[in-house]
Amino acid sequence: MPWKKYLKFLSPVDFITLAYICITGILIIFSRFKIENGIVHLLMRFAFIAVIFLLIYLNQTFSANKALRFIRNFYPLILLGYFYPETDYLNNIFFSNLDSFIANLEVTIFGGHPSIWFSEYFHWKWFNDLMNFGYFSYYFLIFIVCYWLYVKSLENFLYALFIICMSFYIYYFLFILFPVAGPQFYLIPPDNQIPDAYIFSKAVRFVHDLGEGPTGAFPSSHVGIVFILMYLAFRFAPKLLKWLVPVSILLILSTVYIKAHYVVDVIAGVLSFPTMYWLSSTTYQRLKRYFTITV
């Protein structure tokens, strides 16, 4: 069957994912003299587009295969793990690092860096690991909320997945336009360090070594997304909310404690949440008129 016939099986989240791939691809093409290895990133985009349409084809051909259906629905979350560190590659196209501005703003407001005071005052290893647990939980909270809704209601899942993914894509564009690395990269030792602890501090360090770079600090997508997750749970999964709230509080505090974010980033993340949700929800309502919501 010609591939064009499978366009009708695109979902709203497929569309915005493809849009993000294409827009950033155009950005790479027009910025090829400012960045290195642009051809590699462009080839990756062609590969992602091919995989998306392959998943659509396979899902329609083998519609009874539950594992394939699961992959077809959850693939955008996997791609988010690639697109985030890539913002470090693209985030100096328009401006150089803006940490000096954010750091000076923080000093002007607070008289110093709360992230330094936080880790110095609460220096115990158990508290350190508690904060690292909060930060590490971010990688699971998104999946847990999505999977909960996937099991309970496909319609609510597709809505929530769209809200989460589009919000991430907007944050990624902001990271590209306004590069801020965060205290862990901007401050100098020992101010950018915290004492070692137990299990979760090592887990966070492993994740940082694997894919973290000097990018994505302002506004805090950790904070913005976790507020979105709590609101989605409030609307569609109230039983999950009572577990989500305390872990989310730890996560928000941890972003400052481990020096991933300035307090200014956190405030911006909170303030950005309503706009992100409104933009994503409005876009979804318009797109679902043209694309299928059953995948």
Query: What's the pLDDT tens digit per position in 17-32?
Result: 999 999 999 999 888 7
Is there a contact between 125 and 133 (Cβ–Cβ < 8 Å)? no
Q: Is 295 contained in some domain?
A: no
Q: Is 293 contained in some domain?
A: no
The tens digit of pLDDT for each residue in 63-85 reads 889 999 999 999 999 999 999 98
- For the segment 262-281, the average pLDDT, to the nearest whole number, is 96
Q: Is 292 contained in some domain?
A: no
pLDDT at 166: 97
- For the segment 48-55, the average pLDDT, to the nearest whole number, is 94
pLDDT at 209: 66
Q: Is 294 contained in some domain?
A: no
Interatomic CA distance for residues 73 and 80, integer angstroms:
14
Neighbour count for residue 250 (Cβ, 10 Å): 18
Q: Is 276 contained in some domain?
A: yes
pLDDT at 253: 95
pLDDT at 43: 93
154: Cβ contacts below 8 Å, ≥ 6 apart: 294
pLDDT at 1: 45
Does residue 2 carry a pLDDT above 60?
no
Of the candidates 98, 4, 134, the one whose C-alpha atom is nearest the C-alpha of residue 56 is 4
- Residues of the chain above pLDDT 90, percent: 64
The tens digit of pLDDT for each residue in 195-248 reads 677 777 777 777 766 666 777 889 999 999 999 999 999 999 999 999 999 999
CA angle in degrees (0–180, nearest 5) for 284-150-132: 95
Comparison of pLDDT for 35 and 179, the residue scoring more:
179
pLDDT at 119: 87
Banded model confidence at residue 252, pLDDT cuts 50, 70, 90: very high
Residue 165 in tokens:
């993914």
The span from the first CA to the last CA of the chain, in angstroms, equals 18
Range of the structural domain that residue 210 is part of: 3-287
Is there a contact between 256 and 212 (Cβ–Cβ < 8 Å)? no
Is there a contact between 159 and 12 (Cβ–Cβ < 8 Å)? no
For the chain, state the CA radius of gyration.
20
Is there a contact between 226 and 234 (Cβ–Cβ < 8 Å)? no
Q: Is 10 contained in some domain?
A: yes
Measured torsion, CA atoms of residues 209, 211, 215, 220, in degrees rounded to the nearest 10: -100
Q: Of the given ranges (46-60, 115-129, 196-210), which has the lowest mean pLDDT? A: 196-210
Report the number of distinct structural domains present in the chain. 1
pLDDT at 289: 83
pLDDT at 291: 78
